[in-house]
Amino acid sequence: MSTTPEGRQLLLEDLNPEQRAAVTLPHESALILAGAGSGKTRVLTTRIVWLIQTGQVSPHGILAVTFTNKAAKEMMTRIAAMLPINTRGMWVGTFHGLANRLLRTHWRESGLPQSFQILDSSDQLSAVKRLMKAMNVDTEKYEPKKVQWFINGHKEAGRRARDAEAFDEYSMRMAELFEAYDAQCQREGVADFPELLLRSYELLYRNEPLREHYRDRFRHILVDEFQDTNTLQYRWLKLFAGPHAALFAVGDDDQSIYAFRGANTANMAEFEREFAHGNVIKLEQNYRSHGNILTAANTLISQNAHRLGKNLWTAEGEGEPIRIFEAYSDQDEASFVVDEVKTLNREGVALSDMALLYRSNAQSRVLEHALFSARVPYRVYGGLRFFERQEIKHALAYLRLLTNPEDDGAFLRVVNFPTRGIGARTLEQLADHAARAGTSLWQAACTQKGTSTQKGTSTQKGTSSSGGKMAGFARLIEDIKQATADLPLAEVIDHVIEASGLADYYRADKDGADRLENLNELINAAALFSEEGGLMDDASAEIAPGAPASTEMPSELDRFLAHAALEAGEHQAGAGHDALQLMTVHAAKGLEFHAVFITGLEESLFPHEQSASEENGLEEERRLMYVAITRARRRLYLSHAQSRMLHGQIRYSLPSRFLDELPEQVLHNLSRRDSGHAAGVQQTTRDYGTAAPRHPGNDTGFKVGQSVAHSKFGTGIIIDFEGRGADARVQVKFRDTGTKWLALAYARLSPA
């Protein structure tokens, strides 16, 4: 782009007045309060180009900070497209990326070797474990992960071991481990991620000539997503900001949703006082969403106190009303979502332009199952599909051992998880023993006689303690097998999760709450599987013609494991294929879609129950809902369920308070009858308590009130019906076994 006056005018041509004011600011600090979809990335990039074009600064005099490598690359690409310059030497990147660059340049001054290596999270945990082993630290009392959190928490707050508050034996020992860990990293010439920022901060803080050098160099400092900065990041930025620097901070306090990562929303107000001095430009024109969506978002977020304040608007018109659907159950909700997705897809909306959002990862299981059954390709954005998650694979491995202890893969996955002191060397010896004997690892483990059931006694002279631990694991599996022999499937899984130690392990994990929710959802999946007759029940139970009479049906657990394996391996769209997007609301930040479904809008789910016990927790949840709403361009669905299966039991819920905080005039309550065709007339009532009637007609040959027979559950009467074709389900009240939902594609009901 030309640097002539005409070129500069062309640069500003498509900007609205507020954007243009932000881009053309004189040499002064300012806070740019940029709402969702207001073009903040464009403003930030154009500001950089404007400064260079007008000769106010050279490319090397700019420091631009983003939060993701993706955003940094996008910014560099845009700058290169707008200016005929080589951007490689520009300081544009993430906090950690720029800190690394600083330390590489001044490695001597920072006290690091020139070729220092960076530890990721797993590398860091391994380093902590090595240290604790060398120091002979009790890993049950001082869990390695908790030691890692202690170290990182203090570093991210700008504190070294000497600054850590140590008021009892436990905290003093943690501080000692922190100090020893730092010494180990220094000795080995490595640095973890928090260390990059802390050490670069310390370097600038104590080295005045170096600090002044960079202050003289960077006269313009630009920061994206300022609302997500933590305490140390803000302090790091201030060290670069000399008396003649202009700080250009772009952010949205209404989209601050990372308090759990240390983000400090107070930084924005502090920045306004320290640097901007009231120089605030609000970008309120939204280029993403229609008016009704923005009205809902504005009304919702206005409930939060201590906002800097803005009101999004659009020139695009009001658009369609926001659709609200109340389901009978979480399965009913999932079925509704699938129906709407199919309808939209038939109308020409690409699957990839639709997103299913949920508050926590565990909620994806019911949605995934419905999509799997309907053969709708989908992709879990920013995470793993339900049956591929670590904690689920652990639980399934224990279940596989119950039904087939010869499964070496399952054995290796959980023999030392949670940790039992069984190391790699012990497993190598076990594998050698199994190979020599021509047996499975399980059989080899059962021959280990390190300990007996009597504490303090040994059944075999000279056997190592590792052998006893291996034998202990074998006994654990046998004990679980005996304890669960006569239990229903859901209770089997519940018992396995508790008895194996998985539940306790994740309860003690700082980030284990989501994993516990997923494990509870696995219990729900099992309960639903049993309720529906095992999905493959009749098909797999039917003995092929000519088969021997002794042919045995696979157990319910075997069928469930097969179902989990099949669902894990099917319908995940490949790269480049059109697929529905599933993600948590946190993962959705920064994205936009034609149609958005926000599911599970119930009290204790969204807002999450933990928010009640956290300071400003409800306001953070409301900001999260605000982010979810503003992902939608044209169509927005909000759904909740009267009942939801939690921990294998049906729980009844109240609709989320966020629904009551939305303006009535932009809402349209759907029923089954008009779902997918609701763009027309808006309902005038707002009765969330009235469940939607189901399709009165169907093409299955069955109807409500009809007597039916099932091979496993006996005779009963159809009392409810939902779905069509392959997705059809009936609720049957059986005479002897109670009420159950059955998928007609599998249940093989017959008229009674």
User: Which of 134-148, 389-403, 620-634 is the most confident on average?
Assistant: 620-634
* Alpha carbon distance 160, 156 (integer Å): 10
Determine the pLDDT at residue 538. 38
Q: How sure is the predictor about 565, in pLDDT bands with cuts at 50, 70 and 90? A: low
Tokens of 66: 């983003």
First to last CA, the chain: 78
Q: What is the arithmetic mean of pLDDT over 44-58?
A: 92
**Taking CA 68 as the corner, what is the angle to CA 67 and CA 73, rounded to the nearest 5 degrees?**
120
**C-beta of residue 71 within 8 angstroms of C-beta of residue 41:** yes
Chain-centre distance for alpha carbon 706:
44
The 10 Å CB-count burial string (b at 16+, else e) for 81-117 is ebbeeebeebbbbbbbbbbbebbeebbeebebeeebe
For the chain, the farthest-separated pair of C-alpha atoms sits apart, in whole angstroms, at 92
- Catalytic-residue membership of 631: yes
Determine the pLDDT at residue 543. 37
- Catalytic-residue membership of 224: yes
Question: Of the listed 46, 66, 227, 255, which one is catalytic?
Answer: 255
Question: What SS3 class is residue 387?
Answer: helix
Chain-centre distance for alpha carbon 300:
23
Q: How sure is the predictor about 469, in pLDDT bands with cuts at 50, 70 and 90? A: confident
Tokens of 303: 């409930």
Question: Of the listed 41, 229, 642, 731, which one is catalytic?
Answer: 41
Q: How sure is the predictor about 480, in pLDDT bands with cuts at 50, 70 and 90? A: very high
The 3-state secondary structure of 213-263, one letter per residue: HHHHHCCEEEECCHHHCCHHHHHHHHHHCCCCCEEEEEECHHHCCCHHHCC
- Site of tokens 């006269």: 219
Q: Supply the DSSP symbol for 690.
A: S
- Site of tokens 């053969």: 375
Q: What is the pLDDT of residues 574-626, one digit of tens each?
A: 556 789 999 999 989 989 999 999 999 999 899 998 887 777 889 999 999 99
| The model's pTM | 0.72
Q: Are strands 220-223 and 62-66 parallel, antiparallel or unpaired?
A: parallel
Tokens of 92: 């544009």
Tokens of 743: 């998928």
Residue 633 has pLDDT above 50, yes or no: yes
Tokens of 363: 């909620």
Residue 673 has pLDDT above 50, yes or no: no
**C-beta of residue 256 within 8 angstroms of C-beta of residue 99:** no
Q: Are strands 750-751 and 707-710 parallel, antiparallel or unpaired?
A: antiparallel
Q: What is the arithmetic mean of pLDDT over 3-29?
A: 83
Instruction: Provide the 10 A C-beta neighbour count for residue 652.
Output: 9
Instruction: Provide the 10 A C-beta neighbour count for residue 617.
Output: 16
Determine the pLDDT at residue 436. 83
Helices 556-569/489-499 angle, 10° precision:
80
Instruction: Provide the 10 A C-beta neighbour count for residue 288.
Output: 21
Tokens of 690: 């009235």
Give Cβ neighbours of residue 99 (< 8 Å, ≥ 6 apart). Answer: 196, 197, 199, 200, 201, 236
Residue 717 has pLDDT above 50, yes or no: yes
Q: Are strands 707-710 and 714-722 parallel, antiparallel or unpaired?
A: antiparallel
Q: Are strands 91-94 and 30-34 parallel, antiparallel or unpaired?
A: unpaired
Determine the pLDDT at residue 259. 80
Question: What SS3 class is residue 299?
Answer: helix
Q: Cis omega (within 30 of 0) on the bond before 607?
A: yes
What is each CA distance from 115 to 37, 107, 190, 239, 634, in whole angstroms?
42, 9, 9, 25, 51
* Alpha carbon distance 286, 38 (integer Å): 5
The residue that leads in pLDDT, 511 or 246, is 246
Residue 568 has pLDDT above 80, yes or no: no
Question: Of the listed 143, 156, 195, 225, which one is catalytic?
Answer: 225
Determine which helix (DSSP H) or strand (DSSP E) holds 358, and give its type and residue range.
Answer: strand 354-358
Question: Of the listed 40, 199, 219, 385, which one is catalytic?
Answer: 40
**C-beta of residue 275 within 8 angstroms of C-beta of residue 245:** no
* Alpha carbon distance 608, 610 (integer Å): 5
Side chain identity at residue 321, one-letter code: P
Question: Of the listed 559, 589, 631, 633, which one is catalytic?
Answer: 631
Give Cβ neighbours of residue 574 (< 8 Å, ≥ 6 apart). Answer: none
**Taking CA 9 as the corner, what is the angle to CA 8 and CA 13, rounded to the nearest 5 degrees?**
125
Q: What is the arithmetic mean of pLDDT over 291-306?
A: 94
Hey, CA dihedral for 296, 579, 515, 586, is it positive or negative? negative
Q: How sure is the predictor about 202, in pLDDT bands with cuts at 50, 70 and 90? A: very high
- Catalytic-residue membership of 504: no
Tokens of 144: 């390695």
User: Which of 8-12, 165-169, 541-545 is the most confident on average?
Assistant: 165-169
- Site of tokens 């939305």: 662
Q: How sure is the predictor about 466, in pLDDT bands with cuts at 50, 70 and 90? A: low
Residue 519 has pLDDT above 50, yes or no: yes
Q: What is the arithmetic mean of pLDDT over 551-558?
A: 66
* Alpha carbon distance 424, 642 (integer Å): 49
Give Cβ neighbours of residue 546 (< 8 Å, ≥ 6 apart). Answer: none
**Taking CA 528 as the corner, what is the angle to CA 523 and CA 531, rounded to the nearest 5 degrees?**
130
Residue 315 has pLDDT above 80, yes or no: yes
Determine the pLDDT at residue 285. 95
Of 360, 282, 744, 644, give the one whose Cα is nearest residue 519. 360
Residue 632 has pLDDT above 60, yes or no: yes
Q: Are strands 729-734 and 738-743 parallel, antiparallel or unpaired?
A: antiparallel
Determine the pLDDT at residue 215. 94
Q: Cis omega (within 30 of 0) on the bond before 5?
A: no
Q: How sure is the predictor about 286, in pLDDT bands with cuts at 50, 70 and 90? A: very high
The 10 Å CB-count burial string (b at 16+, else e) for 372-408 is bbbebbbbbbebebbbebebbbbbbbbbbbbeebebe
* Alpha carbon distance 256, 627 (integer Å): 9
- Catalytic-residue membership of 56: no
Q: What is the arithmetic mean of pLDDT over 230-256?
A: 92
Average pLDDT, the chain: 83
Residue 699 has pLDDT above 80, yes or no: no
Residue 535 has pLDDT above 80, yes or no: no
Determine the pLDDT at residue 547. 39
Beta bridge partners of 313: 285
**C-beta of residue 521 within 8 angstroms of C-beta of residue 362:** yes
Tokens of 492: 């089997």
Q: What is the pLDDT of residues 337-368, one digit of tens each?
A: 999 999 999 999 999 999 999 998 888 889 99
Residue 414 has pLDDT above 90, yes or no: no
Residue 570 has pLDDT above 50, yes or no: no
Q: Are strands 729-734 and 190-192 parallel, antiparallel or unpaired?
A: unpaired
Question: Of the listed 18, 156, 195, 224, which one is catalytic?
Answer: 224
* Alpha carbon distance 37, 289 (integer Å): 8
